[in-house]
Amino acid sequence: MKSKKLALPYILWMLVFVLVPLGMVVAFAIRDDGGRFTFEFISKAWGYRDVFLHSLWVALLSTTICLLLAYPLSYIISRAKARTQRTVIMLVMVPMWMNFLLRIYAWVVLLSKNGPLDSILGLFGVHVPLIGNTGAVVLGMVYEFLPFMILPLYTVMGKIDKSLIEAAQDLGSNGLKVFSKVVLPLSVPGIVSGVTMVFVPTASTFLVSQYLGGTDDIMIGDVIEKVFQTDRHTGSALSLCLMVIILLFIIVMNRFGDEEAVGV
């Protein structure tokens, strides 16, 4: 069939740039330089379990905050006039046009000691370290990934037919019931993709914690980057573990989404 022929370049691309490197990561993780099978590197990766846990904790915290911020905002945007919707979505996207690192640098400047925020707080006699702690890392993550939560939520909520909300009111629902019985269940697909799109990169990203976090805030992404420079095997083992964790997370999320959509 013609359509299959057209798909060939993409299949080739996937093979060369996705599957082969993936295979290489697995191979590096479970074989030593002599090519023998070994658990040595996986067990070395186990030594970093605290970093894994901390990364997942930061990711969970950031995702939760993103969801709490984005959900009401998306709902309000989806109910606004078409022109307002376009403008606000534009504003949400604008920061993404700037380089990732640049945006983190901006936060470094904003939060640094004797920086603008510190000085303002100083006027009120408040002196707290704004940078170099988990809070700053979470703040950076939320700032970076909030649009990835807003966009899928907004898309799903915009598709909820207004007459469904009217029907719910008509059948006796007050505002709260309309939300819990209609808006929330119908926006589950948006929550699932939003949470996935925020959780996965926050768990694996690097640099943010290096710039905004303290010495204890090192995340698994940073560890992988450092370790890889000296030891490809352990680096691969760490990557493999991270991938498995993320895969499990995605499976759980999708299962949850399916159940929500059918049941309730």
Partner 1 sequence: MKDSTIISLKDINVSFDGEVIINNISLDIMDEEFITFLGPSGCGKTTTLRIIGGFLEPDSGDLFYEGNRINGTPPHKRNINTVFQKYALFPHLNVFDNVAFGLKLKKLPKAEIKKKVKYMLSVVDLKGYDKRSVSQLSGGQQQRVAIARALVCDPDVLLLDEPLGALDLKLRKDMQIELKRIQKMTKKTFVYVTHDQEEALTMSDRVVVMNNGVIEQIGTPTDIYNEPSNAFVADFIGEANILNATMIEDYKVNILGTEFKCTDAGFGKNTPVDVVIRPEDILVVPVENGIISGKVVNTVFKGVHYEMEVKCKNCTLLIHSTVSQSVGETIGMYVTPDNIHIMRKLFPTPYNEFEAVVSYSDEEENTTTIIIEGKEVEIKDRYFEKDAKLNIILPPTGIYIAGDGVGQIDDVYIESVIWKGEYNEIIVESDERKWLMHSAQDEQVATYAPICFDFKDAVITLKDDAEGENEV
Q: Among residues 85, 112, 173, 210, which is the contact residue for partner 1, using CB under 8 A?
A: 173
Q: Among residues 120, 177, 248, 251, which is the contact residue for partner 1, using CB under 8 A?
A: 177
Closest CA to 77 of 91, 96, 67, 60: 91
Closest CA to 237 of 49, 54, 30: 30
Residues forming beta bridges with residue 1, ordered by sequence position: none
- Which window, 16-24, 179-187, 204-212, 231-239, contacts partner 1 (CB under 8 A)? 179-187
Closest CB to partner 1 among 169 and 210? Answer: 169
Closest CA to 91 of 137, 152, 142, 151: 151
Closest CB to partner 1 among 88 and 188? Answer: 188
Site for partner 1 in 117-136 (CB under 8 A): none
Closest CB to partner 1 among 182 and 219? Answer: 182
Q: Among residues 56, 70, 141, 182, which is the contact residue for partner 1, using CB under 8 A?
A: 182
Residues in the chain, how many? 264
Site for partner 1 in 133-172 (CB under 8 A): 161, 163-164, 166-172
Closest CB to partner 1 among 50 and 258? Answer: 258
How far apart CA 52 and CA 73 sit, in angstroms, is 31
Q: Can you tell me which residue has the tokens 């330089």?
A: 33
Tell me, by CB under 8 A, how many residues bind partner 1.
Answer: 20
Closest CB to partner 1 among 134 and 169? Answer: 169
Residue 199 contacts by C-beta under 8 Å, 6 or more apart in sequence?
59, 60, 63, 249
Closest CA to 177 of 165, 187, 188, 189: 165
* Interface with partner 1 (CB under 8 A): 161, 163-164, 166-174, 177, 181-182, 185-186, 261-262, 264
